[in-house]
Structure 1
Amino acid sequence: MITSAQALQLIHHLKEIAEALSVMSGGFISAPPATATVPTSPWDSPNVPAGYDTVLGHLNKTHPEIISLMDEPVSGTQRDGYWCTHQASRRQLGVVKVDAPPSMVEMGIATVNAYPIELLTERFG
């Protein structure tokens, strides 16, 4: 299974390859503009305070492609949650318990941690 950190590295390398191919082709290759609307995500938790987000909520907003690469996003991001919890404790940053997103409620998970966005950005870029 691929971790979120590995997925970020993969995406970075794919972007580098795409840029190189574009340069090699003289800039003639370009993707069509995206026009589809994105439905509300099952990974976003309700009632998250301003300045905070959950691991899956943050990934959904900033790197949705990572979630789509995971077989099991909940277990695939557990290490990231442990890292955020450890770093928040070490830096004396607040961690907030919030209602779990619909996809996790279906699994029997009622609450999840929300972390400061700066910490999530440090973890995922």
Structure 2
Amino acid sequence: MNAYYSEVPQRLCAYRKALEKTQKEMAEKFGVKQDHYSRLESGKTFLSYRNLICFVRNGGDIYYLITGKERYTGVIDAYLDKFKILRDKVELLKLILWVTYQGVSYEESNKIKYMRLSRHGSI
């Protein structure tokens, strides 16, 4: 087994145990048989792209699984996660970029927020 990959199966196993799931339950979430999932955790079988997608879809942090390091998410990521519509995310990013480009202070950015809301008839 590759030295870089050797800890990935251990983290996969730790993740399952943290969820208090059996290998059979995790195998169902991954769309594989229990013996295949067991080989994933033991490192006898490498995780496939499909396995990684299933891991993410079931709430797993792929960055941590691969690197062993917690992924830092910033304030912008936290706000973007709250938006359900892509257009709204794009609008927020455009506003952040514009404010950054203009060199607007925090107090001035609050005025911009109110101007934007009033422009849409919300105030």
TM-score exceeds 0.5:
no
Q: Which has the larger radius of gyration?
A: 2
TM-score (norm 2): 0.22
Question: Of the two structures, which has the highest relative contact order with CA contacts closer than 8 Å and spacing of 6 or more?
Answer: 1
Which structure shows the bigger proportion of residues in strand conformation? Answer: 1
Which structure shows the bigger proportion of residues in helix conformation? Answer: 2
